Amino acid sequence: MSLIFFLMLVIEAATDKLCPLRASIDVLEGEYFFLCYFESMQEHFQEEVYTINWYKENAGKQQPIKETHRIVSQKNLLEFWPAELSDSGNYSVTYSSGKQNFTVQKWTLNVLERNKSSCFNKNHLTTEIKNAGTGHSLKCSDLSVNENDSIAWFKDCKNYKNETERELDFKTLAVEHSGIYTCKILIHHEGKTYYSTNTIKLVVKEDAPEATTLEIVGRNEEIQTEIGKEEVLNCTGFLGYCMQEDASLYWLINQTFPEKCTGIPEREPSICEEESKTLQLGNKVYVTRLLRIKKVTDEDMHHNFTCVFQMDENTQIKIVKLKKGKIQDMPEHIFTTAMVLAVLFPCVAVAVMFFCVMFRIELVLFYRNLCRRDDTAGDGKEYDAFVSYLKDCASPTEEEREFALKILPMVLEKHFGYKLCIFERDVCPGGAVFDDIHSFIDKSRRLIIILSQNYVSDRAIYELESGLHKALVERKTKIILIEYMPISDYSFLPESLSLLPSKRVVKWKKDNSLPVNSRFWKNLRYLMPAKPTKINTKGHYNILDLGSEGTKPWTEDCDFNAPL
């Protein structure tokens, strides 16, 4: 609805002659002023009972304006007889009915303090700039509601030719018409006379060519150079706005004329002067002449190179001197080296990044050994890892248990100093199995799960589910998955296993993984907590030989009748 009223405002602006739209609402104190909205808006409320309310913003709140003998609202006007400094602020007018309330228009009024020594305030005027020889008229703004009010014009606060029309016409402007014009409207109200003023600053520019000023461009200068270097000295003069045939520009070397350049390099003198050239930029004309020094000598450092610009009796000069520079050019071999390094540096950076990504595990293990880093100190844990594996003694795959009971502890404990918790080896029989499992997982920093197709026994599944709960929910234990044999179907495992990051899965590749320095053991140590150890990486184990290493075969400790 507000948009509709705004459009009606614009459409009907031409019909309400006595209600001007002001771009900036400034008024001088002590003058008559009014705010108004388009009276034709009232026609849209003929079928409704409505009231018109004027508001002024006070402390961020809209408060109704109370009429006085000085502030009066009538029809579509809010009049000030006259305006005072306290009237400055934000104003609005609304139409209110029993059902709806519309804000018709808003204003910001700024009441300026009057300059008591002048008929105008310099902050309350507009400026118009015009060229001489053209016609122009100054218009007195609609500052009254009565078109018959008397008008007087003033120039620089003095009455101007007894003009009384709303427009002050100039058929042909001249420079002397420049000045500050004030239009004063006299308004009679309840036996008193009020007035409003409008001030315009008129600037009339003489539309004539600028006077020609002969001048040389730039001042005396010293140029840093080196012995044997070529130098070109430039001298430029400003001719004005048209070509001056009698103007001359030339060089002198210690008050002696230099030779002219021939254009043939083999026959060129060491110092020569080129022909002058004319250059036009916009409507300005310049003349320029170059002095070429093929190879600077030590003697040239003591010369005065003088540029002379002359026309009639007007002569200007510019003196140029050469001096040895403190900064030398970069030697060629240094420049070449710098360019090569600039090209190689991105390649080296990419190679280093690639190396770090490819060998990040080796770098981390090297850093741990170098700094003797220990992540296990003071954490209250007893074991570095709890090993979960297939415990079915009747399993047809004995290699899996051989790996869990012999290969894994042989390498991690004997060669790398870790302490593992293996249930059948470290837990005394007779207790509550599931309680013991839960307790030992709590005492371990990692949970190593050896996965295979046969990983289906109740106890193993419980260990897996308990470890997943601690890793994903309690966030107390990190899980390491060892894929002992390739697994094609994971459907028999808990779905939450898929939430573990893939980088925590290490794959056993039989003979390729047997050496202690193989990728398998490096990846496994990378996932284990950092712990200072004395590492012997020369070991290479064979599953068939482990029985003689001092560890009993798992079948000697396995009680087939023991409950799982």
3-state secondary structure 393-444: CCCCCHHHHHHHHHHHHHHHHHHCCCCEEEHHHHCCCCCCHHHHHHHHHHCE
Domain that holds residue 77: 2-112
Q: Do 422 and 548 fall within a single domain?
A: yes
How many domains are there within the chain?
A: 5
Q: Do 319 and 337 fall within a single domain?
A: no
Residue 476 inside a domain? The answer is yes
Q: Do 11 and 152 fall within a single domain?
A: no
Residue 144 inside a domain? The answer is yes
Distance CA 540, CA 37 (A): 99
Find how far residue 276's CA is from the centre of its chain. 50
Residue 94 inside a domain? The answer is yes
Q: Do 501 and 385 fall within a single domain?
A: yes
Q: Do 233 and 251 fall within a single domain?
A: yes
pLDDT tens per residue, the chain (564 residues)? 444 444 344 434 433 445 665 645 889 999 998 888 876 555 555 556 778 899 999 888 999 999 999 999 987 889 999 999 999 999 999 888 777 788 888 888 999 998 888 888 888 888 888 888 888 999 887 666 677 788 999 999 999 988 888 899 999 899 899 999 999 999 888 889 999 999 999 999 876 555 556 788 888 888 888 888 888 998 888 887 777 777 888 999 988 899 888 877 777 888 999 888 888 776 678 889 999 998 999 888 888 899 998 877 788 889 999 988 765 556 677 878 888 888 888 888 888 888 887 888 888 888 888 888 888 787 888 899 988 877 654 455 577 788 888 889 999 988 888 999 987 788 766 555 666 777 888 888 888 888 776 665 555 666 677 767 766 666 777 888 888 877 666 665 666 666 666 667 888 888 888 888 888 999 988 898 888 765 554 544 444 444 444 344 433 443 433 333
Would residue 463 show up in a list of annotated catalytic residues for this protein?
Answer: yes
Q: Do 316 and 287 fall within a single domain?
A: yes
355, 255 Cβ separation under 8 angstroms: no
Q: Do 64 and 141 fall within a single domain?
A: no
Q: Do 287 and 410 fall within a single domain?
A: no
Distance CA 361, CA 526 (A): 6
Q: Do 234 and 336 fall within a single domain?
A: no
Residue 120 inside a domain? The answer is no
Q: Do 356 and 423 fall within a single domain?
A: no
Q: Do 386 and 450 fall within a single domain?
A: yes
Catalytic residue among 84, 463, 474, 549: 463
Residue 367 inside a domain? The answer is no
Residue 502 inside a domain? The answer is yes
Tell which of 260, 294, 324 closes a domain: 324
